[in-house]
Structure 1
């Protein structure tokens, strides 16, 4: 079945590429693009089935033969890889079903890039040879470059795709160096570390390099800057594939590294914990104030990468302490958050793609009343936002609860460094959860249900038509059901996660199910939660309160009363001017000014392009936030690189005698080193 899945992705790529040939007529182009999407969807279904069989104990293997000088290789699906196949390709099916509704002549070759990404994801997750994994990793980098640069004629696309490929190559280089260090000691490219001590200098370097490479792919600080720009540059349907499907290979790589290498050094576990917490805070801070819907969702991916990594850091902490239950607690939390992120982020990007297509913009101040004008896209926007905010009745609630509870287990380890790192990370994650609620309330209240904004363009007919097409509705309905159903049936989800993690922790993860429909953070009698009962209790309470209100209010309490809006008694403020998305985010800009380096300026005169005017006077209020990592790390680094390049250019004199002198100096230096070390 693995071969069948790869064959279907190849067929999708070939058909989609042929659809872009100029000699094909319009109807044939649309038919070919639709067929390519169907093949890609079929491949995702096949890989989902393969993953389900592996989790059930029926793993599969596709023999690739002997690679010259690199040992034997195969694509193998065990319980862990099967779990990530279910997560990635289970989400890919509804995403591509919804994307197929927009198949048209403008993007006939988009399915080819998507199919390439899917094939790369399958290869990375199932590879049992580091060389094969690197092949899939580099293929995924190429696919990301093609996706983010597909609409290369639009502003910002070239820069976003360039950043994506640069950081993709850096991540590949880090994984390659880590693999070479391991293979130098094991004399094999297979996934084995039986002769490697992870606490030795070489083992520590290999461990750190592998986690660095995988961390760059998921957008951890300081390698996060490619993610908001790369995602925003990709076409609407492709963003969900990149953020909800393909990025999971980075988390799989982290999980597999722990499986292979075991306990890391203490400093590395502390570093992973702190980086996860800092990434979460920085990502949600920028998401909370970003004025663009696509960029907001992209920054939320950075935040979720930090939360997931915090859970993984707890697992590393447990490995250092030799506590299998603590490892299981961290991995259950991290994997549950991976699932919630895949569902919520895919739902948001699928909905945002239709909103952008219909409104012609993703500027939050120009979007309002989406739920009324595009009911299906609006529903996806609301449910996806609530999921990523971690509110009850959604998949994100239980996963974030698991993460916080896992971080509270720091008292079970004896290392003071680990205890302090877990405490700092726990505070960062708790702050992140709070800001996430504010962030997505802005999206739900002002974008989904808010009034139509001034200057909003009329809805495009093609965008409205997309919201009414059955493939789009089917795909979005499955995603919304997944976001809500994962909470209603959370014990079943945790049971699935436990089976997938048997490769690493055995049956320890089963302790997360305390009783039928009750969850706990693996450790018994610490705390408990039942998302399933919340699905029963909260609606029942709402219905009870509504019934009492209807019975004793003396009138219909659900009939809306329309009155003039309160204008806070401020002179010069016309009634009807309410909160905009920009204004709603202003408290966050001020509270987190230390993180965002917020600067503001109020100037008289006509509004400048890109500025936001307040009231009816000639005032312009300009606010700017910056990424501290980009300003204080990458900009000085770029300046240093440019200086070195200018110095190196002087060596290229074009004179043969100078080049011969350089070679002679290099040979003498090598001889000196050899003689000194002999």
Structure 2
């Protein structure tokens, strides 16, 4: 099935490229449809391959020797199968939605998407660093093609350049880490336990690998590419980038722990703190951003931080020799990966249709979307509830697992671990609270909000997508995934336990305390049953409605008409009401340290033709900035420019000068090798 999936993805690339060369519109539409169909078939094949790997049917494709880089295969073990199912199961409905007629004006887009799918499959299934790097660079190229597809639109070129720049930086870090390991193992093949992770070389390799994978998932200080890259990509490509492709970064972290074991204490503390800071940084900007697409993109930064904190808890367990704690952290992180994949794919699929139908993503202009685009609006609501981590959705149990894994800090003896885990736990708890406020803003003001001034007209051609059966299948499948994973959370945890067998053995099975009850691996520490919540909460709602009907002595649902309160309440005839800006203002002020909030009142004076004084206009402006970008990234960029100008002076155009540079480089390499041998 691995070969079938890669062949189908390759066929989609070829057909999509040919579709872009076709001159006739009907030919482009036909070839584009065939390319999207091939992409869907590839995702189905790779999902089946992952399911077979989880079931114990290990598949293997031998690539023979790679010119001295060691033996290489594409194989699906339990961990690879887990990430294949997680990534490509959500890719199927996302690709089905992308195949709608509204997207056929982009004939080459399925080729770029196919390249991303093939690269993800190669990265997850390979057992050789050289092949992994090949897939990593291919994924960077695919991200560049997707984010730069609409390069004629404002901001798209900048977003694609930033995306490829960070992608190349992540590839360089992974390459250097792999080279350090290969210098000791004399092969690029994954070799568990071959290098001491607490030696100088082992620590350097560990740092470089986690840095490379962390850049891909958007951890601070490398989160800047994610909001810009996602916003620059066409709507259908965003779902693939966020819900499918980014998962390879988390897979790389999980595989690094399996290969290298427990890192030193200082690195674990860095992972925990960086994860917590990333989470609060992402949700702070999502909470105040007025643009729907940007809000969803910043939420990806927040989820990356949450998942990394779970991974950090697993590192604590590995260092302390507590396999149950390692299992608790990895179960929490993997459950959050699944919730993010489902919720983020659903949000981007829904937001893509909303953006195309209304020609805007301004939250203050998108009131009542559920009434005008019911399927897209429903997807927006369920996806928001999932990423907010509210009960009856997949995000609830995963965030609970994360908090429970951080509460196990008393099981280790290191004071540094205690402090860093406490900091990460506080940041995660604050993040979860603000996430609820953030997505209530989206649901209350956008999905169910009242009509607003300047409300956009609905484009009938794009609004028709909301009524197509293919799009309804996509939204329906993702909605069922977000809700069904919560209802059958014990089944999900057992699936995760099978996938983590190669890392923690059977310890993850302890996350099921009873058939329908979850526990944080440790028995009798805490318990939760999302499945029973699906039974109890609806029954409580029915009971409350019955009691209200019994004691109301009349129809409790009858509307009572009163004069509206003349405030910012909706319904006031002056056309005012709470906007997304006003709703986010408390968060903007409470987190002013994180957002560097600055407010100012601007006034402009006007003169009439008779030069008599005329009343001026007052403008209230509030700005927030990315703290890391302003005080770190810009300084780094200035340093890079200085180095670039200096390097430009070395380009003399003389062959003898270039040969001298080459000789100096060779001598330097020889000196380093001799000194470290």
Q: Given the two structures, how large is their TM-score scaled by the length of structure 1?
A: 0.95
| 1:138 match | 137
Q: CA deviation at 1:652?
A: 4.5
Q: Give the secondary structure class of the aligned counterpart of 2:165.
A: helix
What is the CA RMSD across the aligned residues, in angstroms?
A: 2.3
Closer, same or farther in 2 for the Cα pair 1:93/1:653, shift >3 Å? closer
What residue is the counterpart of 2:64 in the other structure?
65
SS of alignment partner, residue 100 of structure 2: helix
> C-alpha offsets along residues 590-626 of structure 1, whole Å, 9 cap, x if unaligned?
110000000011123489xxxxxxxx99321111100
| 1:352-409 superposed Cα distances (whole Å, 9 cap, x missing partner) | 0000011001011111100000000000000000000000000000000000000010
1:555 counterpart SS class: coil
Give 1:393's aligned residue: 392
Which residue of structure 1 lines up, in the alignment, with residue 118 of structure 2?
Answer: 119
1:172 and 2:171 correspond = yes
Name which of structure 1's ranges 451-460 and 244-253 shifts more when overlaid on structure 2. 451-460
Shift in Å, 1:560:
3.1
Paired residues of 1:357 and 1:462 also in contact (CA < 8 A): no
- Do the aligned partners of residues 561 and 644 (structure 1) sit closer, same or farther apart at CA in structure 2, a change above 3 Å counting? same
Number of the residue aligned with 2:18: 18
Task: Work out whether residues 291 and 365 of structure 1, in 8 Å CA contact, stay in contact via their aligned partners in 2.
Answer: yes
Unaligned runs of 5+ in 1: 608-615
Partner residue in 1 for 2:580: 581
Say if 1:280 and 1:303, in contact at 8 Å, map to a contact too.
yes
- 2:6 maps to what in 1? 6
Task: State the secondary structure of the residue aligned to 2:367.
Answer: coil
- Encode CA deviations 1:101-152: one digit per residue, 9 max, x unaligned: 1454420111111111000000000001110111111000000000000111
State whether residues 568 and 578 of structure 2, in contact with CA within 8 Å, keep that contact through their aligned partners in structure 1.
no
Structure 2: 5+ residue runs without aligned partners? 607-614
Q: How does 1:419-434 map to 2 (within 5 A)?
A: 419-434=418-433
Within 5 A, what are the aligned runs for 1:636-675?
Answer: 636-652=635-651
Residue equivalent to 1:610: none
C-alpha displacement at 1:452, in angstroms?
Answer: 1.6
| Alignment map for 1:203-222 (pairs within 5 Å) | 203-222=202-221
Distance 1:361 1:669 in 2: 55
For the structure 1 residues 207 and 558, does the alpha-carbon distance in structure 2 shift closer, same or farther, using more than 3 Å as the test? same
For residue 346 of structure 1, what is the aligned residue in structure 2? 345
- Measured after TM superposition, the shift of residue 568 of structure 1 is 3.6
Does the CA contact (< 8 Å) of 2:453 and 2:575 recur in 1?
no
Q: How many residues align?
A: 667
Structure 1 counterpart of 2:107: 108
Alignment partner of 2:63: what SS?
Answer: strand
Preserved CA contact (<8 Å) 1:565 1:576: no
Tell me how far apart the structure 2 counterparts of residues 677 and 185 of structure 1 sit (CA, whole Å): 12
Could you say if the C-alpha distance between residues 584 and 653 of structure 1 is closer, same or farther in structure 2, counting changes exceeding 3 Å? Answer: same
8 Å Cα contact 1:61/1:74 also seen in 2: yes
Q: Summarize the Cα distance change of 1:660–1:247 in structure 2 as closer, same or farther, 3 Å threshold.
A: closer
Corresponding residue for residue 443 of structure 2: 444
Aligned residues of 2:33 and 2:104 also touching (Cα < 8 A): no
2:609 corresponds to which residue?
none
Question: Which residue number corresponds to residue 380 of structure 2?
Answer: 381
SS at match of 1:487: helix
Aligned to 1:613: none
Distance 2:474 2:73 in 1: 33
| Structure 1 partner of 2:627 | 628
SS of match in other structure, 2:620: strand
After superposition, the C-alpha distances for 1:72-127 in whole angstroms (9 at most, x for unaligned) are 11101000000000000001011111111145442011111111100000000000
- Please name the residue that 1:521 is paired with: 520
CA distance in 2, matches of 1:381, 1:662: 57
Residues 1:560 and 2:559 aligned together = yes
What TM-score, normalized to structure 2? 0.95
Contact 1:518 1:529 (8 Å CA) reproduced: yes
Query: Structure 1 residue 316: deviation in Å?
Result: 0.4
Write the distance in 1 (CA, Å) between the matches of 2:330 and 2:150. Answer: 38
Equivalent position of 2:200 in the other structure = 201
Displacement after TM superposition at 1:650 (Å): 4.1
Change (3 A) 1:279 1:4: same
Inter-partner Cα distance in structure 2 for 1:482 and 1:658: 61
Instruction: Say yes or no: does 1:507 pair with 2:506.
Output: yes
Alpha-carbon distance, 1:677 to partner = 10
Question: Contact (CA 8 Å) 1:11, 1:36: kept in 2 or not?
Answer: yes
Superposition map of 1:10-409 within 5 A: 10-23=10-23, 25-102=24-101, 104-409=103-408
